[in-house]
Structure 1
Amino acid sequence: MIIETPRLILRLWREADLEPFAAMSADPEVMVWLGGVLNDEGVRAYKRRADDAFATLGMCRMVIERRADGAFLGCCGLMPGHEQAPISPYIDIGWRLARSAWGGGYASEAAAAVLKDGFDRLGFPEIIAITAQTNRRSRAVMERIGMRHDAASDFDFPGHEEADPLRATVVYRAARS
């Protein structure tokens, strides 16, 4: 399974992706909105979840590779949403990029292609993205790919303390046209 854009190739995981994914996932700035840095087991578990999700559901967070040089930039894709979220069940679009790839429009380009695939190939009627209320960069990506903030569905993420910046969660939606 491959999704191509003018600058990117989104593809399934390879063992060789674990090293750059581990480096990206050890960067506190990359992981600040994603629950904190991952150790080696967390990195391997992430890849296993992606592999299992694609095998059973036909979707996963796929590797983002830059077409020009094959560089690992991060990952983007669809997964079943967090079961503990009060908006469950839902299909979640998400991404994470290496800091060196920030600001180049790669997240928006990859996410737009994934959104299209979710509607066209997988036939989902709606795809949702969630993030911390204060995560302005991800919210900007959501808006650039045509998702709309659904303030009535915003919620406090279960299990997070009141002062936790990840607690206040915003919901963005996109519907198949």
Structure 2
Amino acid sequence: MTEIRTPRLLLRRWDEDDLAPLSEINADPAVMRWIGDGSPLDLEQTADEIERWEDEWDEEGFGLFAVELLGSGELVGAVGLSVPEHLPELLPAVDLRWRLGRQYWGQGYASEAAQAALEFALQDRGLDRVIAVVRAGDRASDRVAEKLGMAPEAEATDPEHGHLLRVYGIDLTEYEA
């Protein structure tokens, strides 16, 4: 089982106990504002999302991690890697993504977990390059990408929702663990 420990967090695969807390995170309009069409997700949609992430783990050898606080075991959110198949112009690519519950914002958890996932991608999974696709206007996610050493390199349009997206990238030669 793939697990990563950081000073404050545990990144791990999903289990059935994660559905309810992730569903609460996904039901928050502030959390979902920059994701998809901006609509909150219900319990069934959240279950489908976890299933897709677990399928990606099985197919690709990576996916989104469940992120929990060390000590308390509280689910903070989801951080990890995904193939952005909805943006074929970016393929082949692996997208670093993050989504945290609102109560965990502003504490450095997104950067800490994303840094661990980036290191996992480049060092453990042997990827040469990782991108982060951020919806234009999402300054908090821009800052996370920048903290990781990623640089803006392109723009794209979300084909389903029409939103402008900013594409950040970093390759193995630019990465400093």
TM over 0.5, shorter chain: yes
Query: 1:141 corresponds to which residue?
Result: 144
Matches within 5 A, 1:62-141: 62-141=65-144
Give the Cα–Cα distance (whole angstroms) in 1 for the partners of residues 159 and 75 of structure 2: 33
Q: Give a deviation string over 1:24-61, Cα, whole Å, max 9, x none.
A: 00000000011221122211111111111111211111
The DSSP-based 3-state class of the residue aligned with 2:167 is: strand
Is the CA contact (8 Å cut-off) linking 1:25 and 1:31 kept in structure 2? yes
| Long gaps (5+) in structure 1 | 162-166
- Contact 1:85–1:158 (Cα < 8 Å) also in 2: no
| C-alpha distance in 2 between matches for 1:154 and 1:39 | 30
1:46-100 Cα shifts (integer Å, max 9, x gaps): 1111111111211111111111311110010001113334222310000100001
Pairwise CA distance, 1:5:
0.5
Aligned partner of 1:138: which letter?
Answer: S
What does residue 15 of structure 1 align with? Answer: 16
Distance 2:66 2:34 in 1: 19
**What is the identity percentage for the equivalent residue pairs of Structure 1 and Structure 2?**
35
Q: Which residue of 2 aligns with 1:40?
A: 43
Secondary structure in 2 matching 1:86:
helix
TM-score (norm 1): 0.92
Q: 2:168 is matched by which residue type in structure 1?
A: Y
| Alpha-carbon distance in 1 for matches of 2:119, 2:87 | 26
CA drift of 1:133 comes to 1.3
CA contact (8 A) 2:19 2:46 kept: yes
Instruction: Please give the TM-score of this superposition, normalised by the length of structure 2.
Output: 0.92
SS in 1 for 2:89: coil
2:58 aligned residue: 55
Report the Cα distance in structure 2 between the residues aligned to 1:84 and 1:98, rounded to whole angstroms. 26
